[in-house]
């Protein structure tokens, strides 16, 4: 299929969807089982597998408070999701050349599978956070989850903005290090210990590269497609792309500012310990 044919086909595709139809977004039935399976699996891991293995392998786990056990289990889920999604995302960035060539409209079953996993995880984590809001509820994390689900559902069901969805998933690569920091803190590692300091510095560095430094690269790509003839025919999806990603970037900047302040405090503590 030539480029002109692709553009024409995409224009016809978007023109056939009126505003009323866009308001009633439905999952592609082919991937609904994947979303449901992902949701169920993460709930099962949270409720049964994570506590069982943690109690078996972590000596201090039995002394955790209920809030710590809930948070511990959700962070294991978070790390599993991030590792799985991150690997698939990197593979697609390298191997799937059609994704970058067709950033506005492209069908990839691997991407749809990856998004289904993510959506299932985000919904499960949101449900757990709502049930245990008094213990682990974080409005920023919940807002991040819900906004992400809203955007990813568009990609999953209508194959729009696939490149940008995959690009945003790169941010998941920083999550395991964030969770490791919490694990170390909960296990009462000293904040000036080598493990804590090294993880904190690496966490901030990776977070910077995949979430902060990635911002201008991402928005430059948005600009390059926004000046194409196809962009005006993408309907309200372009506004979803811009508004949702702006919100996510603001949240990421807020989190990064907290990380930097935390790193500075730890570095001052380490310096004071060495020269005290």
pLDDT at site 189: 93
Q: Which pTM value belongs to this model?
A: 0.86
> φ, ψ for residue 121 (rounded to 5)?
-65, -50
Greatest Cα pair distance in the chain: 71
Cα angle: 158, vertex 244, 80; to 5 degrees: 80
* Per-residue pLDDT tens digits of the chain, which is 276 residues long: 444 444 444 443 333 433 333 344 455 679 989 999 999 999 999 999 999 999 999 999 999 999 999 999 999 999 999 999 999 999 999 999 989 888 888 889 999 999 999 999 999 999 999 999 999 988 888 988 999 999 999 899 888 899 999 999 999 999 999 999 999 999 999 988 999 999 999 999 999 999 999 999 999 999 998 998 778 777 788 998 999 999 989 989 999 999 999 888 888 877 776 665
């Amino acid at each position: 299929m030539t480029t002109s044919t692709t553009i024409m086909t995409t224009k016809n595709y978007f023109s056939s969807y009126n505003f009323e139809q866009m308001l009633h977004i439905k999952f592609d039935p082919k991937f609904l089982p994947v979303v449901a399976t992902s949701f169920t699996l993460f709930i099962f891991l949270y409720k049964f597998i994570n506590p069982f293995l943690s109690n078996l392998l972590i000596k201090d786990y039995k002394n955790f408070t209920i809030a710590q056990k809930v948070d511990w289990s959700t962070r294991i889920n978070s790390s599993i999701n991030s590792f799985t999604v991150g690997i698939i995302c990197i593979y697609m960035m390298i191997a799937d050349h059609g994704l970058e060539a067709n950033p506005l409209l492209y069908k990839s079953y691997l991407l749809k599978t990856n998004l289904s996993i993510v959506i299932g995880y985000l919904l499960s984590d949101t449900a757990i956070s709502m049930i245990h809001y008094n213990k682990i509820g974080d409005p920023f994390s919940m807002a991040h989850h819900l906004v992400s689900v809203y955007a990813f559902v568009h990609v999953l069901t209508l194959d729009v903005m696939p490149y940008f969805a995959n690009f945003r998933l790169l941010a998941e690569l920083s999550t395991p290090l964030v969770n490791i920091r919490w694990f170390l803190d909960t296990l009462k590692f000293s904040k000036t210990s080598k493990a804590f300091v090294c993880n904190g510095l690496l966490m901030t560095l990776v977070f910077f590269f995949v979430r902060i430094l990635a911002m201008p690269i991402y928005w430059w790509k948005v600009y390059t497609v926004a000046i194409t003839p196809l962009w005006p025919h993408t309907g309200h999806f372009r506004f979803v792309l811009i508004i949702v990603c702006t919100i996510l970037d603001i949240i990421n900047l807020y989190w990064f500012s907290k990380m930097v302040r935390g790193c500075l405090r730890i570095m001052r503590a380490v310096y004071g310990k060495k020269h005290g």
